[in-house]
Structure 1
Amino acid sequence: MKKEIYGIIGLGRFGSVLANELICQGKKVIVSDINEEAVKELQDQADFAYILDSTHAIALKEAGYANADVVILSIGEDLESSILTFMALKEIGVKNIIAKANTPTHGQILSKLGVNKVIYPEKESAKRLARILIANPNFEIIDLSANTIKVAKLLVDENLAGKNLHTIAKNLKVIAHKQHETWSIMPNLDNKAYINDIIMLLGTQEDFKQYEY
């Protein structure tokens, strides 16, 4: 099986934490930053570490970002560099780009340009993103009540297949389960889930902070 490659551009607090988490999970990681000191911190841990100007498509291609399955653009402070780097990544053919944004306006611009997913992370959410990327990229959370009550749609993959709903849900409440194109509302928690099933989970913001699968 081909080993997934994760590319990270920008090694500030978020980028460096995310890189370390992915490396600890045994993933192949390419990192880069224009700051030499930031790159030195990870050059012995990452598979590839480069000091480069990420707005230059040729530099990104030579660093191997064109081969990455996912590239996380962690340049939240400099809007111009963030946009130019995104355009450079598209130029070299990167299809799956996740971008950090510090403000809603920044995020809206990136979304309109075609970024696959925009995030507004802090240090802990960086660690969580690494786990989500590895465990299940189709885990989506929807706010229902001013960041208090949330619903998550979880697509069952091979790591979760065969487990019962109670084991998968842990501290969250299962409100629906889709299997073979049929939805069950408030299903029996002893029921097993299979690949490509969809599970809808309900919980508070604190519940989701504690949830890991």
Structure 2
Amino acid sequence: MEEIIIVGGGRVGIRLIDLLNKREDYHITLIDDNKKALSLIKEKYETVDIVRGNATNKTVLENAGIENADIIVAATSIDEVNLLIGILSQGYHLKKIIARTANPSHIKMFKKLGLNEVVSPELTTCMDIQKLIINSLSVKMLTTGSDDMELVEITVKSSKVVGKEIGQISPSKDFIIVLCNKNNEDIIAQNNIVLSKDDKITVLVKSNKIKKVKKYFTKSGLLSSI
């Protein structure tokens, strides 16, 4: 039996449970932080295990059994959350990591970060995810709480970061660099990449820290550290 973790008890997550619950070869665990939604889902799907919490927290993923899971599906309505879950999940021995994206422009970046199973657009999401799961039969930034995350592209200007390796800067408590574009070539962010002036970086950042993080990378003399 395949162990499947679904993150997100919204429309897509529920539809996916409907599709997979008809088969006997899957055991499903659902992660969500909405108590009312989880109560309704548990009432309808008695065989589905429920874990309440924020799946961008490694402890919550482990409580859901990710260490023994075969597949995880990040099916929330927020691309940034699905991306972070995908990044965290790469630290486990999963057969497949599937991420939902509502924004087709994010597909290329998701794949560059190792999330090769990316599903969009919304109208075909559930059936596409089901096919990916059925066919499968043959970073360190841990957030806690409910902080919103956004993907932001920043052009490096500050003398405080130019010449530094990514590993000296990222991850921090507020952001993680996920991509670096040098000379029009996208490179997955690795610790030994040295930032140059006018490099374009894609950063996963807490929504309430965007202004601060942008200044850190673009304005010399404003911030000495972050």
Q: For residues 127 and 39 of structure 1, what CA distance do their matches in structure 2 show?
A: 22
5 Å-filtered alignment, 1:129-140, equals: 129-130=129-130, 133-134=133-134, 136-137=135-136
Q: Which residue of 2 aligns with 1:6?
A: 4
Cα distance, 1:29–1:123 mapped onto 2, change above 3 Å:
farther
Q: For residues 131 and 91 of structure 1, what CA distance do their matches in structure 2 show?
A: 24
Deviations 1:124-153 (A, max 9, x none): 65146425633x4499xxxxxxxxxxxxxx
Q: Which residue of 2 aligns with 1:42?
A: 41
Contact map agreement 2:4 2:28 (CA 8 A) in 1: yes
SS of equivalent to 1:133: helix
TM-score by length of 2: 0.53
SS of equivalent to 2:42: coil
5 Å-filtered alignment, 1:50-199, equals: 50-75=51-76, 77-122=77-122, 125-127=125-127, 129-130=129-130, 133-134=133-134, 136-137=135-136
Deviations 1:67-123 (A, max 9, x none): 221111102x32332222122212344341011011122222211110131001546
SS of equivalent to 2:55: coil
Contact map agreement 2:6 2:28 (CA 8 A) in 1: yes
Cα distance, 1:92–1:132 mapped onto 2, change above 3 Å:
closer
Cα distance, 1:5–1:117 mapped onto 2, change above 3 Å:
same
SS of equivalent to 1:115: coil
How far the C-alpha of 1:62 sits from its partner, in A, is 1.6
Deviations 1:35-60 (A, max 9, x none): 22222232242431111111111210
Contact map agreement 1:61 1:92 (CA 8 A) in 2: no
Cα distance, 1:81–1:131 mapped onto 2, change above 3 Å:
closer
- Partner AA of 2:70 in structure 1: D
Q: For residues 62 and 125 of structure 1, what CA distance do their matches in structure 2 show?
A: 26
Aligned residues: 135
How far the C-alpha of 1:30 sits from its partner, in A, is 0.8
Structure 2 residue ranges without an equivalent (≥5):
139-226
Q: For residues 51 and 68 of structure 1, what CA distance do their matches in structure 2 show?
A: 17
Q: For residues 102 and 49 of structure 1, what CA distance do their matches in structure 2 show?
A: 25
Q: Are residue 30 (structure 1) and residue 29 (structure 2) matched?
A: yes
- Partner AA of 1:48 in structure 2: D
Contact map agreement 1:57 1:92 (CA 8 A) in 2: no
TM-score by length of 1: 0.55
Q: Which moved more, 1:55-64 or 1:79-88?
A: 79-88
Q: For residues 15 and 125 of structure 1, what CA distance do their matches in structure 2 show?
A: 10
Q: For residues 124 and 8 of structure 1, what CA distance do their matches in structure 2 show?
A: 17
Cα distance, 1:84–1:137 mapped onto 2, change above 3 Å:
closer
- Partner AA of 2:113 in structure 1: L
